[in-house]
Amino acid sequence: MIEDYTRRFVISAAALMVASRSSLFDGFRSERRSIRVGHTTAYSGPASAYGTIGRTEIAFFRMINAKGGINGRPVDFITYDDAYSPSKTVEHTRRLVELDKVDLLFHQSGTANIKAISDYVTRRGIPTLFVATGASKWDDPARYPRLMGWGPSYASEAATYARHALATVPGARIGLLYQNDDFGRDYLSGVREVLGPGAAARLAAVSYAVTDATIDGAISSLKASGANVLIIAATPKFAAQAIRRTYELGWRARRYLSAVSTSLAEVLRPAGLEAARGLISAHSLKDPSDKAWARSPDLIAYRRFMAEWNPGGDPESAFNVIGYAAASSLVAVLSRCGDDFSAENIMARTESLRDVEIPMLLPGVRMTISPTDHAPISSTRMMRFDGAHWELFGGLVDSAAPSRGAPSEHAQ
Amino acid sequence: MEDALPSGVARVSLRRRLAPLWPWLIAMVALALPFAVDSFSLFQLTMVLIYAIAILGLNVLTGISGQFSLGHGAFFALGAYATAILLEAGAMPYLLTIPAAAILCLVAGYLIGLPALRLKSVHLALATFALAIAIPEIVKLSIFEHVTGGVHGILVGVPPVPPVLKQAIGVDQWLYFLTLGIGFGLYLMSCNLADSRTGRALKALRENEVAAASMGVATSRYKAVAFAISAMITGIAGSLCALVVQFVAPDSFPFQLSIALLVGLVIGGIGSLPGALAGGVFVVFVPNIAESVSKGLAGAIYGLLLIAIIFSNRNALGRH
């Protein structure tokens, strides 16, 4: 009996040793200190698709280091798998801050996961830059002075569609197809915000679950509701189904498509390019599968990076573009920090970025951050699908403006 | 070869003489650790204790009464949400939320146990599995969203250290000692339960249900009692988890949590109450080790480690 416990104790002790080995070697690092960047995302579990972004970022910083690092310093990109579980995110974030002693946290994913660490990182004063969630509540410098998102929020994107529909479709009645999770519900609250108190009469919202096999029923009931506008707030697989189904039904509603599903390779070609004609979306990033950008220098550089440093990744995937552009945004910050990577200096440099061009952003969309504006990429371009390409129309849409000052907890 | 025997005898007797010292040694290490390790390691050790308590709860059910549950993650979640919601409402001091969560899980365990335990072992495992799958979905439902926070979860503030201890220890140390104390209490309670009249009835159920019934053991009532106590202990672990992690959300309690608890139970040894600690170590550290070896193959490495530990430890498994 005792022998069993002794053996189990030895195994446990060995496990502890391995788990904490990172702290044992802290003292032996080179004197030209690396820039330590902490990151968590879901490499396993229900949302493991996001792991693609993390892998692209690992490859990106390998490339940066091979080219001599940033201001002569290598980047130590430390990333852990939280399997999308917020309690695991808390554990790994504490490990990054307390054991790995990172200089900043970068592009961690999941709205609930970020909420779980928001108080901790704020107490600790760790710069937590460009978190990867569509929630708009992180643009709140008074409450979270060192935390910020990156791209436009889902709610503001939905508001853009609703406003455009009200302005251009006479007697607009909006049908909303949304995914029944935090992603989809942010669209619902964005549309409701624009419609105001009369929302119930002008809005028919039908949800689907990611586990559903098909959304044909949802599309039929939206059509039966008499809507003449359809906002498709869906992830790629379901967006393709919705585009196809509306086309087959001959439903002539004005269709808006969520920006996460605008990829030609992943959504529009599977749905049928003819079925996709006339779709409208608002995006801030270039789609690598759209031939319109084939000759632009940032797309050529992106393709070269994917071929050379991330050959296992699909260059057409929107996730890889996000990883590439977000990592490029961080390089823009760090390269302005000189030789001082203290939290104060990182925040000061971050908050003084004005109209910075980032590779893979659509023409005119730029990154701007200030002590009162923590929405780095707050503008989008509207675009219409002409059967072959997304054609940009109109000027910049400042998507942060309308939700600023509104209650920050959109989905609640 | 000839002198191998006497020295072997001496070793056994030495070990036997040292045996009573083990609990004291473990207690001393457990009490000294918070002053020897950094705050993150202490946080991880507290998580080990929390999972050990949850596994202890499962062990009361499986080890003593011989029932299987694939759904104890649901009671873990229930305990965590009870504490988080009570604190959010400002209803009571945080220390009182722990017994409140315990009572809630005890009642829930009994109510769920009554019908579910009429099922035989494998079917019971499936019925409880359904519970584990349902709980995160129910928490997300929009009708409960104003209470549960929906997918966005609830932030729990940092639990303050009691004023008398404030000078001596920090928050992480306090939470460690709190968890250690509660865990030790629950361990003693479980040991007493196993040796009590109820415990004997439950063990009789485990060995042979028909024989137990014919001896006058009210089988379904006793099973429900075992299920309720088991749910209560696991719920207390959930409540402590909410205080230590300071956040609850549906995605923190996927059905994989229930599987992880069951794996921890088997690793520690079914029926071995101290083995729950080994199970807790496994649940917290092995996924991290697997990931540190390879991100892409983390699942496969976890499986390999699991098999390796089961084989290296085979004779301890299944012992009552």
The full DSSP string for A189-213 is HHHHHHHGGGHHHHEEEEEE-TT-S
Count H helices and E strands in chain A, helices first: 15, 11
Name the more confident of A55 and B136. Answer: A55
Q: Do A86 and B22 touch (CB under 8 A)?
A: no
Provide the pLDDT for residue B309.
Answer: 84
Label residue A7 by pLDDT band (50, 70, 90): low
Name the more confident of A224 and A292. Answer: A224
Identify from B151, B284, B292 which residue to disrupt to test chain A contact, counting A C-beta atoms within 10 A and taking the largest count.
B151
Name the more confident of A125 and A17. Answer: A125
Provide the pLDDT for residue B6.
Answer: 53
The contacts of residue A243 (CB under 8 Å, 6+ apart) are A232, A255, A257, A267, A268, A271, A272, A275, A276, A279
State chain B's mean pLDDT as an integer: 87
Structure tokens belonging to residue A176: 């909303």
| A 49-68 residues inside an 8 A Cβ radius of B | 51, 55
Angle at B72 between CA B66 and CA B77, to 5 degrees: 160
CA–CA separation, A5 and A12 (whole Å)? 10
The single residue listed with the structure tokens 């935390």 is A147
Lowest mean pLDDT among A374-388, B15-29, B92-106, B211-225: B15-29
Q: Do B313 and A7 touch (CB under 8 A)?
A: yes
> What's the whole-model pTM score?
0.84
CA–CA separation, B234 and A60 (whole Å)? 43
CA–CA separation, A79 and A38 (whole Å)? 6
Identify from B87, B145, B247, B261 which residue to disrupt to test chain A contact, counting A C-beta atoms within 10 A and taking the largest count.
B247
Provide the pLDDT for residue B318.
Answer: 46
The contacts of residue B150 (CB under 8 Å, 6+ apart) are A182, A185, A411, A412, B139, B140, B142, B144, B250
- CB contacts of B155 in chain A (<8 Å) are 115-116, 118-119
Label residue B314 by pLDDT band (50, 70, 90): low
Provide the pLDDT for residue B175.
Answer: 96
Residue B28, Cβ neighbours under 10 Å: how many? 10
Q: Do B315 and A4 touch (CB under 8 A)?
A: yes
> Is-contact B247 B238, C-beta < 8 A?
no
| pLDDT tens per residue, range B171-185 | 999 999 999 999 999
Query: CB contact, 8 Å: A93 with chain B?
Result: no
Label residue B12 by pLDDT band (50, 70, 90): low
CA–CA separation, A239 and A251 (whole Å)? 16
Lowest mean pLDDT among A41-50, B23-32, B87-96: A41-50
CA–CA separation, A29 and B13 (whole Å)? 48
Provide the pLDDT for residue A280.
Answer: 97
Which run of H or of E encompasses A281?
strand A280-283
- CB contacts of A18 in chain B (<8 Å) are 285, 289, 292
Residue A1 pLDDT exceeds 50: no
Residue B2 pLDDT exceeds 50: no
Provide the pLDDT for residue B56.
Answer: 95
Query: CB contact, 8 Å: A5 with chain B?
Result: yes
Query: CB contact, 8 Å: A12 with chain B?
Result: yes
* Closest partner CB to B251 (pick from A16, A86, A185): A86
Residue B147 pLDDT exceeds 60: yes
Query: CB contact, 8 Å: A91 with chain B?
Result: yes
| pLDDT tens per residue, range B191-241 | 999 889 889 988 888 888 888 888 888 888 888 899 999 999 999 999 999
User: Quick one: DSSP state of residue A229?
Assistant: E
| pLDDT tens per residue, range A19-63 | 444 444 444 444 568 999 999 999 987 778 888 999 999 999 999
Provide the pLDDT for residue B66.
Answer: 86
Provide the pLDDT for residue A4.
Answer: 54
> Is-contact A263 A372, C-beta < 8 A?
no
Burial class of residue A393 in the structure, from the number of CB atoms within 10 Å of its CB (0-12 exposed, 13-18 middle, 19+ buried): exposed
Residue range A122-147: mean pLDDT, rounded: 92
Which run of H or of E encompasses A159?
helix A154-168
Residue A114 pLDDT exceeds 70: yes
| pLDDT tens per residue, range B246-270 | 999 998 998 889 999 999 998 888 8
Lowest mean pLDDT among A95-104, A330-339, B57-66: B57-66
> Is-contact A70 A64, C-beta < 8 A?
yes
Provide the pLDDT for residue A26.
Answer: 43
* Closest partner CB to B274 (pick from A5, A7, A55): A5
> Is-contact A141 A120, C-beta < 8 A?
no
> Collapsing DSSP states into helix, strand and coil, what is residue A258?
coil
Angle at A366 between CA A363 and CA A370, to 5 degrees: 170
Residue range A234-244: mean pLDDT, rounded: 92
Query: CB contact, 8 Å: A400 with chain B?
Result: no
Residue range B84-110: mean pLDDT, rounded: 94
Provide the pLDDT for residue B7.
Answer: 54
Provide the pLDDT for residue B9.
Answer: 55
The contacts of residue B269 (CB under 8 Å, 6+ apart) are A4, B275, B278, B316, B317, B318, B319
Q: Do B268 and A86 touch (CB under 8 A)?
A: no
Per DSSP, which regions of chain B are E strands? 154-155, 247-248
Q: Residue B254: closest CA among chain A residues belongs to which residue?
A: A85
> Is-contact A54 A79, C-beta < 8 A?
yes
> Collapsing DSSP states into helix, strand and coil, what is residue A359?
coil
| pLDDT tens per residue, range A152-191 | 999 999 999 999 999 999 999 999 999 887 788 889 999 9
Name the more confident of B114 and B87. Answer: B87
- CB contacts of B298 in chain A (<8 Å) are 43-44, 81
A-B CB pairs within 8 A amount to 138
Provide the pLDDT for residue B1.
Answer: 44
Q: Do B151 and A112 touch (CB under 8 A)?
A: yes
- CB contacts of A99 in chain B (<8 Å) are 38, 40-41
The contacts of residue A377 (CB under 8 Å, 6+ apart) are A150, A151, A152, A284, A358, A361, A365, A366, A367
Q: Do A15 and B268 touch (CB under 8 A)?
A: no
Single-letter amino acid code for the residue at B206? R
Percent of chain A at pLDDT above 90? 69
Q: Do A85 and B151 touch (CB under 8 A)?
A: no
* Closest partner CB to A84 (pick from B155, B251, B299): B251
Q: Do A85 and B254 touch (CB under 8 A)?
A: yes
What are the b/e assignments for A137-163, b being 16+ CB within 10 Å? bbbebeebebbbbbbbbbbbbbbbbbb
Residue B318, Cβ neighbours under 10 Å: how many? 11
Percent of chain A at pLDDT above 70? 89
> Is-contact B203 B64, C-beta < 8 A?
yes
> Collapsing DSSP states into helix, strand and coil, what is residue A70?
strand
Provide the pLDDT for residue B317.
Answer: 47
Structure tokens belonging to residue A343: 């939290």
Single-letter amino acid code for the residue at A56? T
Closest CA to A243 of A265, A261, A221: A261
Query: CB contact, 8 Å: A304 with chain B?
Result: no
